[in-house]
Structure 1
Amino acid sequence: MKIILLMIPLLVTTLGSLEIDYEERIPYIQKNNGSIKGLVATPALNALTRSGIEYELKEKPSKRHLHEIKSNQKLICALGWFKTSQRETFAKFSKVLYQDQPMGIVIRQQEKPIFENKKLEYILKIPKRLLTKASYSYGNLVDNKIKEYKTRTTEVYTDNQKMLELIMKKRADFMFMAYEEASVLLEQSKYESLEFIPVHDMPQGNKRYMMCSQKVDDEILKIINQYIE
Structure 2
Amino acid sequence: MLHRCCLVLLASVALTVVAAPAENATAPKALQPVATEQLTIYFNHRPPYYHRNARGEWIGVRYNQLKAILELAGLQYRWQELSVNRILHQLTLSDGNHCSGGWFKTPEREAFAQFSLPFGPNEPATAIVRQEFFNGNSAMLSQLLISPDTRVLTKQGQYYGDYLEEAMKLYNVQRIEVTDEQQAIVHQIALKRGDLMFLNRAEAHYLLEQNPLLNERLNAVDLQDKAPIPDLHFMCNKAMPKALMDKLNDGIQRFREGQPNLAMPVN
**Where do 1:1-229 residues align within 5 Å?**
14-15=35-36, 17-31=38-52, 36-113=58-135, 117-118=139-140, 120-126=141-147, 127-187=149-209, 188-192=211-215, 193-228=217-252, 229=255
Query: Which residues of structure 1 form unaligned runs of 5+?
Result: 1-12
SS of the aligned residue for 2:189 comes to: helix
Deviation of 1:227 (Å):
1.9
Deviation of 1:116 (Å):
5.2
Deviation of 1:147 (Å):
2.9
- Of structures 1 and 2, the one scoring higher in RCO (CA 8 A, sep 6+) is 1
In 1, Cα distance between the equivalents of 2:96 and 2:243? 16
Worse overlay, 13-22 or 133-142: 13-22
Cα 1:16–1:186, aligned 2, differ >3 Å: closer, same or farther?
A: same
Deviation of 1:185 (Å):
0.5
- Aligned length in residues: 216
Query: Which residues of structure 2 form unaligned runs of 5+?
Result: 1-33, 256-267
Deviation of 1:56 (Å):
1.4
* Identity percentage of aligned residues: 28
CA displacement, residues 89-145 of structure 1 (integer Å, 9 cap, x when unaligned): 221122333423320211011222599533x34533412111111111101222233
Cα 1:97–1:38, aligned 2, differ >3 Å: closer, same or farther?
A: farther
User: Is the Cα contact below 8 Å between 1:93 and 1:210 reproduced in 2?
Assistant: yes
In 1, Cα distance between the equivalents of 2:72 and 2:56? 19
Structure with larger Rg = 2
CA displacement, residues 143-188 of structure 1 (integer Å, 9 cap, x when unaligned): 2332343321221101111001100000000011110101211102
TM-score normalized by the length of structure 2 = 0.73
RMSD: 2.3
Cα 1:178–1:67, aligned 2, differ >3 Å: closer, same or farther?
A: same
